[in-house]
Structure 1
Amino acid sequence: MGQKNFILDTNVLIENPKCITALRNGEENNVYLPYTVITELDKLKRDPRIGHIVAQAVHSILKDDKLTILPPAFAEKLRDLNPDDRILKEIMNADIEAPILVTNDRILQIKAGIYSLKSEEYKDSDPFRSDSQMYTGFVDDEQEPYVNSFRWEKGTAIFYGDKENKPISYTHEVWGVKPRNIYQNLALELMLNQDINIVSIQSEAGYGKTFLALASALYLALEKKDNSYEKVYLVKPIWEIGPKMGFLPGTVEEKMQPYVRYVRDLTVKLHEQRPANRIFMETDSDKFRFNQKKFEILPIAYIRGMNLENCIVIIDEMQNMSRSEVRSLLTRMGEGVKCICLGDTRQVDNPYLNESNNGLNWVVKKLRNNKEYAHMVLKGERSRGPITDVVLKTGL
């Protein structure tokens, strides 16, 4: 096919920091970088949403000794132009045979065509994935298993625990809940395992992680006899999506209601499957007030100073908590505590955090391969319903 000369746009590096190596394809092609791209990366590194991805792109540039960066002298003369036009001028000024601009910017592609400059999309997009996404809880055949991980062997999931390895050839049923798929069953295996004190579950919305956690908590606190769990806490950071509602009147429980109504609805659903009277003060019509002695919902700020013992703690939307908040919360937990951490690092609402620098990702990064801890990515073909299924399938 002959050697090609690729020139990269900024957006390609952001979407896949490994694109330089991929496009070079060994020694087959040459890869160039306009100086304007370097200046754009310098500005983007301060953006809290993508600064961690920019850092990866910069690392790829620094370690690649075959990458050619176009000289800055000409680019610095073009300061009055916008970045896209500067990139085009740099390419046309460079002595590169049959250059191919690689960009996913459609407008820039149109402009390139006007100047008779060939352009291509970078189709092998590999967006940044956090540790909590990359480590799924499963290991490959040739990989040494982490403690409390799974491996597929002849179609069966084998659990590699601290004390024993065992096939998960059985199906859990917890508080009347039967798992919809193998992944939900394995998530229940981790939540119910007495040797694992802290479990984290990563998934997109709709795969049932909160429902499974609540079912497990009710079973452990109200039904299972050989444990000392006396209460269930649900802890949640509060970050609104969209316009702010302002201050809400009432008690802590009343203030939290708009943010945790889904918890009450899921708990009522479990109660209807199998009575859980002890966690409610009232169960008439749609009142269903929680009994604070058995089930309490708290914002993260209220945990400071508390000492949690003999309880189940569900931490929901942990991706919206900072590393320091997670450390502060987890160090409140004393004897007899089972902690279930839930979240999705792709849905960070906290404006001061990002896909990598958030509480859930730090938990996976630091606790992985600890005998007290287990993690898995929850997935499957069926979520909460057909609309959610089509959204997840199409990547909307």
Structure 2
Amino acid sequence: MTQRIQKKNYVLDTNVLIENPQSILTLQNGAENNIYIPYHVLMELEGLKKTPKLRHIVANVVNLLLEHKDTIQFLRTDNVASHFADIVDNYILDEITSSDEIEDPILVTNDRILQLQASLRDIKSEELRDSRPFESESQLFTGFVEKEDERVPNCFSWLEGKPVFHGPETDKVIGYQNEVWNVKPRTVYQNLALELILTEHIDLVSIQSDAGFGKTFLALASALYLMLEKKQFDKIYVVKPTIEIGAKLGFLPGDVTEKLEPYVKYIYSLLGKLHTVRKANKVFINPNDDVPKLNPKKFEILPLTFVRGMNIENAIVIVDETQNLSRSEVRALLTRMGEGVKCLCLGDTSQVDNVYLNAQNNGLNWIVRKFKGFNNYGHIVLKGDKSRGPITDMVLKSKL
């Protein structure tokens, strides 16, 4: 006699739908499980569709909900939140507990506080499994391996105190110091990051580190070197996710460049420093100006939204703060990369500002998780006793 498998009843929170719209179908698993969407989740989606950064994701969620509305059950309520933003989670829990339709509901949410609130009401909850690719993968895989059977293309190991680079076909002892744009690495890890960037067969490099270990400075120096000296690329792009903690980007005056300025001042500062180290005249319209403007034919800073629809070729692309991108945003960005592109993805998974992501579920971790083992990908974690200065050193050592 065949034992009947009992269906699970999943109630989906907004953050799960935003992170992965396909979670509806994944959890439904054909007709194996039931999917419930609270009314207040729909209200949250209504509010989020006005956010430019999330508008296309919300549209995907709504399309899936409409396409499968006959197999999804929506929880109705007569009690609508009046002060919506602050208490919507409580209303979602109310909708679950007051529903007579759901037997043994399981709330699927990546919000740890909501999981705790659910437990206080005896509601089972769990995180979307697909949202935790691996516990801080971009930190756990440092770029180094200890055993021969752990080797993946473009990783490193130690041999008699010297790093060894394991390419797809050959091994090489790194007994020399790389130098780009008159910039010398301060640590062995910075030197190995440059090794990955300068290796021609590697198209995508990800670099993880705490604040102040020179990720962006090294990337910019390498980009200037590869474009202006080696002439391997025609243009440099810097892609920057604009996580708005204060004023909204759209409320700031001016064109795109002026709107981005508060978010990218450090890029201009680093470029100015590199221009002092060695002249990079071609990236400026008039390098002799007191505040020289970038030459858009050679150097362009783009918000993530502007990359959608582009076809990038013959360029070096620096993606800063990759930890603030979602999996779907990383996919959308990297699929813009055409022929002759080298992409450098920089980030720090301990500094996630995107409210829908966390230290494990973010774009940098997804890159390491999915691309580790490819012949044209490399990853490294920058370490060391010193960062950008003594105050930053104290912050890192004290774990402030």
Deviation at 1:246? 6.7
Correspondence 1:313-392 to 2 at 5 A: 313-392=317-396
Deviation at 1:381? 1.1
1:298 is matched with 302
**1:235/1:286 Cα in 2 relative to 1: closer, same or farther (>3 Å)?**
same
Normalised to the residue count of structure 1, the TM-score between the two structures is 0.67
**1:44/1:206 Cα in 2 relative to 1: closer, same or farther (>3 Å)?**
farther
Structure 1 SS opposite 2:310? coil
CA distance in 2, matches of 1:324, 1:45: 19
Deviation at 1:176? 0.9
1:257 is matched with 261
CA distance in 2, matches of 1:355, 1:142: 29
Deviation at 1:44? 9.9
Aligned partners of 1:49 and 1:353 also within 8 Å: no
Correspondence 1:36-51 to 2 at 5 A: 46-48=109-111
2:287 is matched with 283
Deviation at 1:187? 0.5
Structure 1 SS opposite 2:157? strand
Which residue, out of 156, 164, 169, partners 1:158? 164
2:207 is matched with 201
Residue by residue over 1:10-58, the C-alpha shift from the partner in whole angstroms, topping out at 9 and shown as x without a partner, is xxxxxxxxxxxxxxxxxxxxxxxxxxxxxxxx99973436899x9xxxx
CA distance in 2, matches of 1:43, 1:205: 38
Deviation at 1:288? 1.9
Normalised to the residue count of structure 2, the TM-score between the two structures is 0.67
2:398 is matched with 394
Deviation at 1:275? 0.1
Residue by residue over 1:155-213, the C-alpha shift from the partner in whole angstroms, topping out at 9 and shown as x without a partner, is 00000001311001000111011100100000000011101000000011100000000
Aligned partners of 2:249 and 2:260 also within 8 Å: no
CA distance in 1, matches of 2:114, 2:380: 26
Which residue, out of 166, 172, 189, partners 2:178? 172
**1:302/1:244 Cα in 2 relative to 1: closer, same or farther (>3 Å)?**
closer
CA distance in 2, matches of 1:206, 1:336: 30
**1:258/1:44 Cα in 2 relative to 1: closer, same or farther (>3 Å)?**
farther
2:224 is matched with 218
Structure 1 SS opposite 2:251? coil
Gaps of 5+ in 2: 1-104, 123-133
Gaps of 5+ in 1: 1-41, 55-71, 80-127
Aligned partners of 2:189 and 2:383 also within 8 Å: yes
What is the percentage of aligned positions where both structures have the same residue? 59
Correspondence 1:36-75 to 2 at 5 A: 46-48=109-111
1:144 is matched with 150
**1:159/1:378 Cα in 2 relative to 1: closer, same or farther (>3 Å)?**
same
**1:49/1:379 Cα in 2 relative to 1: closer, same or farther (>3 Å)?**
farther
RMSD: 2.5
CA distance in 1, matches of 2:323, 2:260: 19
Aligned partners of 2:249 and 2:259 also within 8 Å: no
Number of corresponding residues: 283
Aligned partners of 2:235 and 2:299 also within 8 Å: yes
Which structure: larger Rg?
Answer: 1
Structure 1 SS opposite 2:343? strand
**1:210/1:43 Cα in 2 relative to 1: closer, same or farther (>3 Å)?**
farther
CA distance in 1, matches of 2:377, 2:309: 24
Structure 2 SS opposite 1:366? helix
CA distance in 2, matches of 1:391, 1:129: 23
Correspondence 1:67-146 to 2 at 5 A: 129-141=135-147, 143-146=149-152
Residue by residue over 1:260-293, the C-alpha shift from the partner in whole angstroms, topping out at 9 and shown as x without a partner, is 0100100110000000000001334541210000
CA distance in 1, matches of 2:351, 2:373: 25
